[in-house]
Structures are given as structure tokens and as C-alpha cells.
Chain A
């Protein structure tokens, strides 16, 4: 297993265009997370899936953002009508809840991220 893969690694787009990012988690992990990281800041939670169900969404996730995990494996994050404020690194992470009593103890494995620049 090569870890969490994200594609593309870099995306430059013009304001108003739509973009889609893909994340392939570690195959045996049932949870998948999206975080956003702006320059000089720590990552901020956007949303997470348990298998194919999207169970939590942050207020940061405006209605221009949509995430899917159709078969409980890979996930996509789409941003419609991009704005300059969307420029950030979008990080995907996955984890397994097997054997855990406390989901708070979950250790997330992160991908290298997809960097979005909106001109």
C-alpha cells in the first residue's frame, strides 16, 4: 500500500471555474477526511465519510463545495464557481476505526495534498 494518494498535486484555475480533486485512501481504512490548509495556518476540518456516508460537514464547506465517496473507496471534492479565497492546500486523510473504543483516538494518515491557486 502506497498510503493516501491525491490528484492533482497542483491546480491553477481562473475565478469562476469548477475544479475537482480526487483522493484514494489506504484501502482498508473506512474513514476518509478532507481538510483545508491556507498558507501559514494549520489544517481545518471540512468533512468526513464513514464508508460511503458523509457524516459531518464543517461550516467552512459552503454550498459551492461538494464531496462524495460513492463506493466507500476513493473520494472527490468538487468546488464550483471558484473564488480567490478558495486558494489553499486541500488535504485528504484516512483512518480505521477497527478496535477503537474512542473515535477521538483515531490516528489519521494524510496525503500530500492538492494545492489550488485561483487567479
Chain B
């Protein structure tokens, strides 16, 4: 069975601080996909990134970066120089490749509050 754990339920930072959101996953499959979604107060989940299990290269997109480490089953997300607009709930999710329905298993989410 697949499982995603986001141990940090809430993080509060001051604007311009860097912040890392942790994600640890469990799966028995060798091929799988990891995702991060952002849920702002409006409620709509917004896709941020997808990585497959064979690509461990770190990725950077503007102020966002992701660190995927299979050895520790982690897929952490760092926001550099945080801004108030980054305040949201962030979800990590897992999908196994042989999962015909592409059912995503989500973690419990991390609420990020960025204060001015």
C-alpha cells in the first residue's frame, strides 16, 4: 500500500525567509510518480511539479526547488525568499505507475503562513 507523510502540519515564517516542506513516501512499486500541489485559501489545488522515480535530479523553478532522494524516500520542497502570496496548504502526493486509475495518495498537507 502506498502512503505519504508530511510531518509538518503548520509552518510560520517571516517574508524573505527560506522554508523547506518535508515529504516522505512509502510504496512497493519501483516505478511511481511524485507530485506537489498548492491549495490557496480559494480551495483549488494547483499543480506545481511531477517527478518520476527514475529521475533523481533536483529541480529549480524560480524561487521553488525540489530535492528527490530515493535512498530516504523523500521529496522535499524548498521556497527561497518566501512571499506572503506563498501562504497556502501544500500537499505532496504519490501515484504508482501501474495504477490504472491514476489514483493519487495525498499526504496530510503542510499549512505555510508567511508573515510580512
Residues of A near any B CB (own CB < 8 A):
3, 31, 35, 40-45, 48, 55-56, 58, 89, 91, 93, 95, 102-113, 115
CB distance from A100 to the nearest CB of B (A): 9
Interface size on B, residues (CB 8 A): 33
Cross-chain contact B100 with A43 (CB below 8 angstroms):
no
The reply to whether B50 and A113 contact each other, CB–CB distance below 8 Å, is no
**In the complex, which residue of chain B has the Cβ closest to the Cβ of A115?**
B43
Complex Cα spacing A41 to B39, Å: 12
| CB proximity of A96 to chain B, nearest CB, Å | 11
Does B82 sit at the interface, judged by CB under 8 A? no
For B45, give its contact among A40, A43, A58 (CB under 8 Å).
Answer: A43
Of residues 73 through 116 on chain B, the ones whose CB sits less than 8 Å from some CB of chain A are 91, 93, 95-109
In the complex, are the beta carbons of B97 and A102 less than 8 A apart? yes
Which B residues are in CB contact (< 8 Å) with A3? 44
Say yes or no: is B64 at the interface (Cβ < 8 Å to chain A).
no
A118 to B37, CA, bound (A): 28
What 8 pairs across the A-B complex have the smallest Cβ distances?
A: A42-B106, A110-B45, A104-B97, A106-B102, A56-B101, A112-B44, A104-B95, A45-B103
- Alpha-carbon separation in the docked complex, A115 to B44 (Å): 12
Chain A: which residue is nearest B42 at the CB level? A112
8 Å CB contact of B47 from A45, A91, A103, A109: A109
The A-contacting residues of B in range 1-51, CB under 8 angstroms, are: 4, 6, 9, 31-33, 35, 37, 42-47, 50
Residues in chain A near residue B42, CB distance under 8 A: 112
Known contacts A105-B33, A112-B42; is A41 also within 8 Å of B97 by CB?
no
Instruction: Specify the chain A residue showing the minimal Cβ separation from B94.
Output: A104
Q: Kindly state whether residue B52 has any CB partner on chain A within 8 Å.
A: yes
Known contacts A41-B109, A104-B95, A104-B96, A113 near B101 by CB under 8 Å: no
14 contacts between A and B (CB under 8 A): A42-B93, A42-B108, A56-B101, A93-B45, A95-B102, A102-B52, A102-B97, A103-B99, A104-B32, A106-B95, A107-B35, A107-B47, A110-B46, A113-B43
